[in-house]
């Protein structure tokens, strides 16, 4: 049976094509039957830009079942449920040899779809052949929908872990899209003392409230006054910037107290203008976070399995491959009620 694959073929153009499956799986690789693949802002940008991002990244939030393995693969076996992941630190790249395995070059390349053996398409497909390093078995207790949301959960797990948020901290989460809502839950799990969510969209604010957050505000004077009140006029200990809106970077930094931490999760597609002097005078710590490490996937799955992080509330729809283009147009319009949509390639 041939494979069915969705590929970006031009700006705001996607084609669903039929391709042959390999007769044999090469050594060190596995074939995954895709159950679900989540759609994220990176996919939308790749779609609207006509494929500016590596092809294997178009559909990178996936879960599925091992169908076949290379003759030398022993880490997983056919029939096993897996999620998209990255391998452990390789131990041989320049970063690893220099003693920085947490920034392994091989893992970074895997996360960004630029390894020499990266697949020629992502998981908007019936099946996908990847390096065995790129799969991790699903922990017990996760549904298929939850497994499909592990990848963005790992992104935010990694960011909160890197931020080293102090126990009892006053935390602000700027943006209540899927990344913001996941980051907020990890921050709560990490021991935030007070947690303020800022989001202009009413439906997203409702989602934050449904997750148990009680200090949820639209941007404006009310949230500024509230933050100053609960901090004695100091500002937040930690602010997670999850919108990726370049224009918000300086105003986000200004909500952080002197000596506090600005943690950057959202990825702006344009340059930002900030006050370097303001950041220096107030001795801000700025943490950049992109993607994840191997162990973040296990931590993310455990957080979902024990209920510390609720991903089910983020799942707002499921479509088939033929509906992917229309969905991308809707998400790009900015006039969508969706949080996280999954693609079911069997539809």
Residue 321 has pLDDT above 90, yes or no: yes
Q: What's the mean pLDDT when you consider all of the chain? A: 96
pTM of the model: 0.96
Q: Which CATH architecture has domain 155-288?
A: 3-Layer(aba) Sandwich (3.40)
What pLDDT score does 337 carry? 82
Domain ranges of the chain: 3-149+311-343, 155-288
Give yes or no on whether 3-149+311-343 and 155-288 have one common fold.
no
Compute and round to an integer the Cα radius of gyration of the chain.
20
Q: What mean pLDDT comes out for the span 193-213?
A: 96
Rounded Cα distance between 137 and 157, Å, is: 18
What are the distances in angstroms from CA 73 to CA 107, 112, 130? 19, 23, 12
N residues, the chain: 347
Predicted confidence (pLDDT) per residue in 288-317, tens digit = 999 999 999 999 999 999 999 999 999 999
**SS3 at position 27:** coil
CA 330 to centroid of chain Cα atoms: 20
- CATH H superfamily, domain 3-149+311-343: Medium-chain alcohol dehydrogenases, catalytic domain (3.90.180.10)
């Amino acid at each position: 049976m041939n494979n069915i694959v969705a590929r970006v073929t031009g700006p705001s153009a996607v084609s669903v094509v039929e391709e042959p499956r390999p007769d044999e799986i090469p050594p060190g690789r596995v074939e995954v039957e895709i159950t679900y693949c989540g759609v994220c802002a990176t996919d939308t940008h790749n779609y609207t830009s006509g494929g500016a991002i590596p092809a294997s990244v178009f559909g990178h939030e996936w879960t599925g079942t091992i169908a076949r393995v290379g003759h030398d693969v022993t880490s997983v076996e056919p029939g096993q449920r897996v999620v998209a992941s990255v391998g452990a630190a390789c131990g041989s790249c320049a970063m690893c040899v220099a003693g920085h395995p947490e920034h392994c070059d091989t893992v970074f390349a895997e996360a960004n779809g630029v390894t020499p053996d990266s697949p020629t398409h992502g998981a908007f497909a019936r099946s996908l052949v990847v390096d065995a390093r790129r799969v991790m078995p699903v922990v017990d207790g996760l549904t298929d929908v939850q497994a499909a949301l592990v990848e963005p959960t790992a992104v935010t797990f990694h960011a909160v872990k890197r931020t080293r948020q102090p126990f009892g901290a006053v935390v602000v989460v700027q943006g209540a899209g899927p990344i913001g809502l996941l980051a907020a839950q990890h921050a709560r799990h990490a021991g935030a003392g007070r947690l303020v969510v800022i989001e202009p969209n009413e439906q997203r604010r409702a989602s934050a409230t449904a997750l148990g957050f009680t200090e949820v505000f639209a941007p404006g004077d009310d949230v500024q006054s509230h933050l100053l009140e609960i901090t004695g006029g100091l500002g937040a200990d930690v602010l997670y910037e999850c919108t990726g809106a370049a224009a918000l970077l300086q105003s986000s930094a200004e909500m952080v107290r002197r000596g506090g931490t600005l943690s950057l999760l959202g990825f702006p597609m344009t340059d930002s203008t900030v006050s370097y002097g303001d950041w220096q005078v107030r001795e801000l710590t700025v943490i950049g976070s992109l993607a994840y490490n191997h162990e973040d996937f296990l931590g993310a799955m455990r957080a979902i399995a024990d209920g510390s992080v609720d991903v089910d509330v983020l799942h707002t729809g499921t479509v088939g491959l033929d509906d992917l283009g229309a969905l991308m147009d809707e998400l790009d319009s900015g006039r969508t009620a969706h949080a996280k949509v999954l693609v079911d390639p069997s539809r």
